[in-house]
Each structure stands twice: as C-alpha cells, then as structure tokens.
Structure 1
C-alpha cells in the first residue's frame, strides 16, 4: 500500500483464545467447507449430466454453485489454517487480494440471484414468452455482464481502500480482510470510503432488492389466480430463492451499513459468517431439499454410477 509503509502485514482474528475452542470451531468450519464443496459439486454435476435440467433456471443454479465454491474458498481454508497453526499473519498483498475477491464474489452473487428472480417471473407470469426472453443468448450475456462488471466494482472499492494509511494497530478485527474492518484501523480520513461504500451498497443491493421484490409481487399475484396444485408447484420453485436472497442480503447489509462506531468484533464475525459461509453452505441444501427435479436427478446419477461400478 502506497501510504502505509508503517504496516507491512496484518494480523487476523482467530476463532478464540482457548485452543480447545479454536480447534472445535476450526473443525466445524472445515466440515462446513467440505460439505459446501460436495453439495455444490453435486448440483453442478447433475445439472450438467441430466438433459432435463438444461434449462435457464438450472443454468443459473449451476453458475451460482460454481461461484459459491469459489466464494467460501476465499475465507474458510485460510481461517482454519490460521487457527490450527496459530499463525494469524496475512501479508498486505494477501489482504488486498482477499478484499478484492470477497467483494467480487458477493457482487456477482447478488446479480445472479437477481437474474434468477427474473427467470422465475418470466416462467410464472409470462410462460409463453419464456423460451424467447430466457433464451441461451440472454443467459450467457447476463452471466458475462455480471462477471465482468464485478471486476470493475471490486477494483474501485479495493483501489479506494489502498489509498488509506495504516499507522496504528495492524490487528484486523475479523477472520478475513474486509473493508469495514480496515476502515476502523486506518488513521486516514475515511469519510469518502464510507460514503462510497454506503452509496454502492444502497445502489447495487437496493436496486437488486427492489427488482426482486417487484418481481415476486407480480409472481404472487399471478400464482394466487392459479389452481391449488399449480400454486404448490410455483411456490416450490420460488421458496428456495426467497430463502437464499433473504439470508444473504440481510446479513451483508448488516455488516456494510452498520455504523463503525457501534460495531462490535463478535457481532461482526457472526454477521460475516452469515454472508460468507452460510449462503454457500445452505444453497445446495435449500435447492436440493425443495426441488424434486434435483433430487430425482441426484438419484439417477447415483444409480447410474452404482450400476457401472457393479458391472
């Protein structure tokens, strides 16, 4: 960092002072990490192999699973390694990379969830236009737009953070590097950083939330006009998405919109877990348990591979 020659590295928070608590939490998060990789890998596999799942809905679900595997890999393995070894040091370059990648994945995840809301809206409210408006070209273009715009969004916030000076404590009150934690450590004027963070979170998160809310208002108004059997089918495809969106947006907004003066380390860590670890972990569970097609596809893949092994 150009203006922070006094700080050559940062120290991350561990999962606890007592080594037994540290080991317990590290093992728990490591198991969640492995379960997340397995669950998302299963979704990627079945949505790729099963021809019945080659639809826009599962195209975006597959992309979301790939993103979630990358997202959780940015924080948990390093945090668990630090707790196991007691080595809390992270270089300035490593901290910068972590900030960029975490912001990037969070931004792209919000956009993917927004596009998935549009997919449900068109499928339920405009089913005749679904093949036209949610065609393969739109799916690919919207995915590329999300991925590429995320690079710009993350670069702006990361670059603005690099301008700060860190001449006091180098202990980051978090188990990974994030912008709110570094703003509390800086001895520079952070007003512009906080303003940019507030406007961007309200602009991106707020606009995505409004779009999804309007989509679901129209979806529910359409669903209530359907027959009872069709209502259940429509709700079964919407409920997982609503749960994922609610969990992700509520936790990330709590971290980035809370005043830093009233922030507490334990609360910040818990809220950060809810937007960096819990969504990638819960997405496969929510979508697989609430989706009959995914469960049937998983059974087909298991039976197919078991028959091959027996042969």
Structure 2
C-alpha cells in the first residue's frame, strides 16, 4: 500500500506537530506520522459504516462463526449493505463456510486498498484469503495480530455499509480487544453461547468484557438449543435448554433468541453455502432471520 510523505523537519522524531499540512499534525502522544496516518485512514473508511457488530464468545465450539456468517447473510437478504470480516487469525473458518477457499482479494486501481471478496452481495475479508494453503499455521504474537486486524480495517475499501459483522476468535484476548479498540466507542457486540453451564461460565466473561470496555451489548444468542428429531418430531435437549436466556437475564443482558441444533447447519457450512440460503424455510433459518430482525430493530 502507498504511504504518504513523512513528517516535516520541525517535528521529526516527535508527535503532535502544529505545522499545517504535516502528516503528524494532531497525532497522539508517542504516535509517529505513519501511525497517525493509518489511524486517520482507518477512521475515514470506518466512517462509512453505520453499525459495527462484534460476534463473540468466551468459549470455542459454540457455533460462533456459523452464527456470524448466517446473521450477516440474513441481514444482506433483508436488503442491507453488509460486510463480514473474519479476524480469527489462527482458525479462520469463514472462507470454508462460504466456499471461498483459494480466493484472493483484488487491489484497487490506485493500489491503495484491497477490495473485499463478494459473496451473494456480502462483502467478505478473512486472513484465510492470505494463506497459501488451508493447512498453513499462523504463528504470530500479539503485536503482529493487531497489525493485521488494523490492516483489514484501514486498507480494505469497504465502501458504505449498514452493518460490518466481525467474527472474533473465542475468548477476551488480543484479537477481540484490538478490534474493539480499532472500531471505536460505537462498536457493539453479540455474544453466542450454548445452554450448558461449562460454556456459560466462559461466556459470562465476554459479557464482563463488554461492560469493562463500555461496549453496547446487543444481546445473547443461545445456539444448539434443542434438537427436533426428524423421525418423531420429539424435542431432545442435547445440551440442555434455556441456559443462555437465564444467564442473560441474570447478568442484565438482552436475549436475542435461541437457535436449534440442525444437521442442515453443519451440511450447509461444509458445502460453502449458509443455511439461511440453502434452507431458508427450515426452523433454524427462521430463528436466525428473526435474530437478524431483532438486530435491525435494536440498531435502528
């Protein structure tokens, strides 16, 4: 990507220059001209995005990525301009779930930004697009991960979006913290959990994370909530049921809805087509579409 001129001579090795036109003018203490420029560019591009939603979970294996993908697709189906960014540096799954393995993002004509990959009208970016092979391991420390996340936000030409859905890795570590800080005070969160207590214990930490960062929590989604037997239609609570709702109520968090266990979700993800597209009339799709409508109401 192209870089602008360095700081002027009067502010070399310093920050906060008052010279008009200097790239470091208005920089924060300790911030170089280049860092200031990237921050300003990121703010400019993010300024075209109305709603920034982090999809988080304190626990892995709760279906967070599949929830993020299908909520983003459901929002796009409802006529909104939507972007989806996968910041799970060590386990990017969005390319697989959308059948985009091996795809590489294009560069703008001015060579100053990457263009997100288009999937059925959904704008997508993932670290998975940068890997030579799906089996490549990303072995990076925190500073490098933060730099890549900033690049996804500053160097991607998202254009105007109603929603940017961010698929975060599990936990409350480097990646969710970096995303929250880069997106700014208007970032909001959706927490995904499963009903059993072993998941809820960790998910409570994500709610505390939002409170500590003063991030607006849009609500909690209870995933894998009950299974309807395809043979007898009996509802089987494989992972209990209602734990997410009870936890949300106990912690004063909104409850967005419950999503049942459905083999169609697994098959759709493996085939590279979100379940809300592959099986729009299924109960799981209806549940996800209703949660998307709840998000629209809450962000209106």
Report TM bin, short chain.
under 0.3
TM-score normalized with structure 2 length: 0.24
Q: More helix by proportion, 1 or 2? A: 1
Structure with greater contact order relative to length (CA < 8 Å, sep ≥ 6): 1
Q: More strand by proportion, 1 or 2? A: 2
